[in-house]
């Protein structure tokens, strides 16, 4: 009985600690001609789950897991106002890792702390909360391939041996 009470107390404390922050919602990084990154997150107490879309190489690489495609690609817990999550690529089964999500001034900071395999998640990024949840366009990747004026050279980042380009980094 004492053990059960301690477990219940621990779970309640975790839920109260997470109550001060709200990670739930749709989050998008600024879209440019090279890449896009978005997260759709759900929060229950100190638990966080969600789905992602990462578009790279001017729409030639789409790494995405959407709600109708199965299990969440983002899972984790919130401790001290910071979410520690694991992510799974939708592009390649080998792509996975861990990231830290931090809320600052109604912006969500994403930073990968560990990764392996092939994926197109940015190493770091600042996302803005969307007021509404518009449906994702199935043609979003094609829109990124449209003719455009050559933008400044994107920053090249390397993760798990794969070079990728991102507006985030």
Model confidence pLDDT, tens digit, residues 95-112: 999 999 999 988 999 999
Domains of the chain: 19-131+139-166 (2.40.128)
* pLDDT tens track for 43-55: 999 999 999 999 9
Secondary structure class of 35 (helix, strand, coil): coil
Q: What's the pLDDT band for 169 if we cut at 50, 70, 90? A: confident
> Can you read off the two tokens belonging to residue 73?
């690609």
Q: Could you give the CA distance from residue 158 to residue 138 in angstroms, rounded to a whole number?
A: 27
Q: What's the pLDDT band for 5 if we cut at 50, 70, 90? A: very low
* pLDDT tens track for 29-44: 988 777 899 999 999 9
- Tell me which H or E stretch contains 61: strand 61-65
Is 76 within 8 Å of 87 (Cβ atoms)? no
Q: Would the pTM count as exceeding 0.85?
A: no
């Amino acid at each position: 009985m004492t053990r059960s009470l301690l477990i219940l107390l621990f779970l309640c404390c975790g839920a109260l600690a997470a109550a001060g922050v709200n990670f739930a919602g749709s989050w998008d990084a600024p879209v440019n001609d090279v890449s896009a990154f978005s997260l759709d997150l759900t929060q229950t107490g100190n638990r966080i789950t969600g789905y992602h879309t990462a578009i790279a190489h001017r729409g030639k690489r789409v790494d995405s897991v959407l709600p109708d495609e199965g299990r969440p690609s983002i899972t984790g817990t919130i401790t001290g106002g910071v979410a520690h999550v694991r992510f799974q690529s939708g592009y390649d089964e080998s792509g996975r890792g861990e990231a830290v999500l931090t809320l600052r001034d109604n912006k969500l900071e994403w930073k990968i702390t560990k990764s392996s395999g092939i994926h197109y998640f940015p190493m770091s990024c600042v996302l803005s909360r969307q007021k509404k949840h518009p449906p994702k366009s199935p043609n979003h990747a094609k829109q990124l391939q449209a003719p455009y004026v050559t933008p400044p050279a994107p920053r090249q980042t390397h993760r798990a041996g794969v070079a990728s380009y991102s507006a985030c980094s």
